[in-house]
Amino acid sequence: MGGIMQPAAMFVPSPRRTALRLSTALAATMALGSCGQELSVDSEQREIVGGTETSEYPAVASISVKVVGGGYFSCSSTLISPRVLLTAAHCIDLDEGPTEGITAYFGTRSSGQDSGFIQEIPASEWTYFNPWSLAGNDIAMVLLEYDSDVEPVLYNTQVLGNSAINVLMHIIGWGNSEFEAGGGRKRHVQTPITGFSNNDAVVFYGNDNENTCQGDSGGPGILTFSNGTSSEERIASITSYGPEGCGGTSGGTRVAQYADYIGDWVADNDVPQPPLLEYVTPRDGSEVSAGFQVHVEASDNTRLENVEIYINGEREADLLGRLPPFVIATPALPDGTVEIEARAYDNRGDVTSKKISVTLDSTCDGPQDCQGLFICTDPGVCESPNYDLGAACQGGPECASGQCAMVGEDQLCTAECTPSDASSCPEDFSCIETGEDTGLCWPGGSESGGCSAGGRNEFAGTLLILLALAGLRRKREDDV
């Protein structure tokens, strides 16, 4: 990381931009206001040339900015709310043309193998302070399409004063470790604040040994604020510019001076909304046959966390982590009115609930009148086969336990059990371990009968649960 001379580092050949120099003599004569709060920052010094990579500060993201007509620029940014990144205006408003798209990368390396990869999220909107220049107002924000999984960083709202001079500021960015080399990896360094510009819009920092460089533009300068009993880190600066060669004095936009601008835009754009939820089938007030399916569509402007289906007040399905479509087959129910409720949850705790009612008629003249795995019995009624443990099955509704599983080529009715409890499976069944102290009963017990209470069963890796009913929670598919 060294001094930002160019506003952003380009991924394709491009003419070099002109650097803006501000003298250290000017910085030394700036009038400073009152801080009003103690500043406490770790005094450890780190050399930056060659780069000190870090997996800390997951909220500091690399952004790839695509320009209309081609060309990509790389800058740094910081997540300040679940969907909003704080960065520099010159990263968004480019001389090469209008910005067509922005993608944020959360991790530690934006190229090659990244063991610290978290996620990559496209942006839906962006803005920058107008007018801006490297001498002031070099600030912008990016709205992500959905919430990031990482925790946002606080930004400073209190203007820094004399007590900030010579305090070490923690600089983080994805730029070069030396002039025109070493970008694409997140690095950090600490460097002292040396002063402020005469318009109070810019903070000066850096030297030949600890500084920022191309690609660090938009990244944070972080200070630790302490009130004597507790402390918290806040973004005090946004990396803006520096002299050619990535040494000497660099400049960053002072965040506190733009606290209202930042807060207003975040409040207007990062707006939590409850999930959208609609029934596909059945229709409210319709007549249905036994084994009918409930199909709902759910989405959210941040991130959908879970969908639940309730039948007559009882939770029938918890679809946590399951990808759309959200469809379940209903179990055996008495004829008459059936009350259905669907609930959708998002990551911010908002819940949408919708209820419908249908009329169930389980009489049948043939198999065409029964849905799902239900069969038309001799009395002319759609019924679940209600197979016993160990019987062949096609799906959970066929089994008395509501659970059908596959091991190898065998697809049989099963039931939950506890591997450490020999009595949780019937005789001639063993307990196949499926998780921490959880398992499923499977034919083939030990000579003494009951469940296997030892280590992981050899079949556990091949177990496939075909239908999980209420109380069974699928592992998140994105964690597999």
Q: Tens-digit pLDDT profile for the chain (480 aa)?
A: 433 333 333 222 222 122 222 222 223 222 222 223 333 332 222 223 335 788 889 999 999 999 998 889 889 999 999 999 999 999 999 988 999 999 999 998 877 788 889 999 999 999 999 999 988 899 999 999 999 999 999 999 999 888 899 999 999 988 765 444 456 788 888 889 999 987 889 999 988 778 787 778 899 999 999 887 889 999 999 999 877 777 778 899 999 999 999 999 999 999 988 999 999 999 999 999 988 999 999 999 888 999 999 999 999 888 887 888 899 888 889 999 999 999 999 989 999 999 999 999 999 988 888 887 788 888 899 887 777 888 888 877 778 777 888 888 889 989 888 888 878 888 888 888 887 778 888 998 543 333 332 333 334 334 443 333 323 333 233 333
Count other C-beta atoms under 10 Å from residue 266's C-beta: 20
Terminal Cα-to-Cα distance of the chain (whole angstroms)? 35
Per the CB < 8 A criterion, the answer to whether 233 and 222 are in contact is: yes
Closest CA to 166 of 191, 147, 185: 191
Q: How far apart (Å, rounded) are the C-alpha atoms in residues 99 and 96? A: 9
Tokens of 395: 């799906």
What per-residue confidence (pLDDT) applies to 445? 53
What per-residue confidence (pLDDT) applies to 126? 98
Q: How far apart (Å, rounded) are the C-alpha atoms in residues 167 and 195? A: 10
What one-character-per-residue DSSP string does 209-273 give?
Answer: SS---TT-TT-EEEEEEE-SS-EEEEEEEEEEE--TTS-S-EEEEESGGGHHHHHHHHHHHS---
Count other C-beta atoms under 10 Å from residue 192's C-beta: 17
Length of the chain: 480
What 3-state DSSP class applies to 11? coil
What per-residue confidence (pLDDT) applies to 222? 95
Phi first, then psi, for residue 283 (nearest 5°) are -85, 150
Q: How far apart (Å, rounded) are the C-alpha atoms in residues 53 and 169? A: 17
Phi first, then psi, for residue 192 (nearest 5°) are -75, 145
Q: Which residues contact 359 (CB under 8 A, 6 or more apart)?
A: 285, 286, 287, 288, 336, 337, 338
- Give the domain ranges of the chain: 9-269, 276-383, 396-479
Count other C-beta atoms under 10 Å from residue 312's C-beta: 13
What per-residue confidence (pLDDT) applies to 66? 93
What per-residue confidence (pLDDT) applies to 183? 60
Q: How far apart (Å, rounded) are the C-alpha atoms in residues 275 and 350? A: 7
Architecture of domain 9-269: Beta Barrel (2.40)
What type of residue is 476?
A: R
Q: Which residues contact 93 (CB under 8 A, 6 or more apart)?
A: 99, 128, 132, 140
Closest CA to 419 of 407, 429, 432: 432
Q: Which residues contact 366 (CB under 8 A, 6 or more apart)?
A: 376
The domain over range 276-383 is classified in CATH as 3.40.1280.30:
no
Q: Which residues contact 117 (CB under 8 A, 6 or more apart)?
A: 106, 107, 108
Same fold, 9-269 and 276-383: no
Q: How far apart (Å, rounded) are the C-alpha atoms in residues 316 and 472? A: 10
Q: What is the pTM of this model?
A: 0.62
Which contacts of 348-354 are long-range, i.e. CB under 8 A and separated by 24 or more positions?
A: 348/82, 348/147, 348/272, 348/302, 350/272, 350/273, 350/274, 350/275, 350/300, 351/274, 351/275, 352/274, 352/275, 352/276, 352/277, 352/298, 353/277, 354/277, 354/278, 354/279
